[in-house]
Amino acid sequence: MPAHAVVSMPPAYRKVARAEFQVPAGYRAVSAWYQSSVRACGLFLEGTMPLQQHGGPRFTTLDFVSPWGLSRLTLVFRPLSSTETAILYVAQTLDLPPRPQASYLNGPFTRVQVTLKSSGAVPTMNYTRRFTITWPATIARLVAAINKPAQIFVPLGGGGAVISSQSAVLSFVREDGGVRKVSVGGTQDLLTVRHTRPLDDTDGTVLKLVVRITHHRCPNAGRC
């Protein structure tokens, strides 16, 4: 089987399993069955390679990935005859450690000092907003959102040109005067509590909440 047909994942925390099978069916029927069955298991078809030959036996591939990119399945099909197909499975998953306990916020907090920065190619995208939150319900929403992510950040590659970015620093002030600093956003969906390991702010959920609060509190620079 052609090794170069397999898409690799980052080596940190990676677990890999391989298996080879011979199926009594033509590769087109086999490929169609797997496309339907693997999707039913919750993986999405990310890419296909048409039947081709590079100095060796003919082969074709299907690449599947889980919704958050932590698991990947590559299937390599090699037609042996019109009624026989060899299949190579390469299953990969990232077995990530749990979120550090020190990254959770523990209140009660009396106020939150917010600094939101935006930068981009257009002048209107460049601004900084600073304000303080004292409303308990809003503070509770922020704490719940920050404590929800469970996955540490692992770069999975991809991405393209960044034309704009937003980031925020939130300082949660406790009743005893202690401060817990949280940073979120940037060119990647990172969430960092104090000096603990960065977390994955999936789909920018925490940052979007901060932006909504900021736009409500600061509709323009003159009123913030």
Model confidence at 160, pLDDT cuts 50, 70, 90, reads very low
Alpha helices in 83-204 (DSSP H): 136-147
CATH code of 46's domain: 3.30.310.80
Statement to judge: residues 121 and 205 lie in one domain: yes
**Opening angle at CA 177, ends 174 and 179, nearest 5:** 65
Statement to judge: residues 39 and 146 lie in one domain: no
- 33: tokens are 């069955």
Chain segment 60-93, per-residue pLDDT in tens: 889 999 987 889 999 999 999 999 999 999 999 9
Residue 182: domain span:
101-223
Mean pLDDT of 122-148: 90
Mean pLDDT value across the chain = 86
Statement to judge: residues 173 and 195 lie in one domain: yes
User: Of 50, 73, 94, which marks where a domain is finished?
Assistant: 94
Single pTM value for the model = 0.71
φ, ψ for residue 46 (rounded to 5)?
Answer: -95, -35
- Contact present, 165 and 185 (Cβ < 8 Å): yes
Statement to judge: residues 189 and 170 lie in one domain: yes
Cβ neighbours of residue 5 under 8 Å, at least 6 residues apart? 49, 59, 61, 74, 76
Chain segment 6-41, per-residue pLDDT in tens: 777 777 888 999 999 999 999 889 999 999 999 888
Model confidence at 165, pLDDT cuts 50, 70, 90, reads confident
Statement to judge: residues 86 and 107 lie in one domain: no
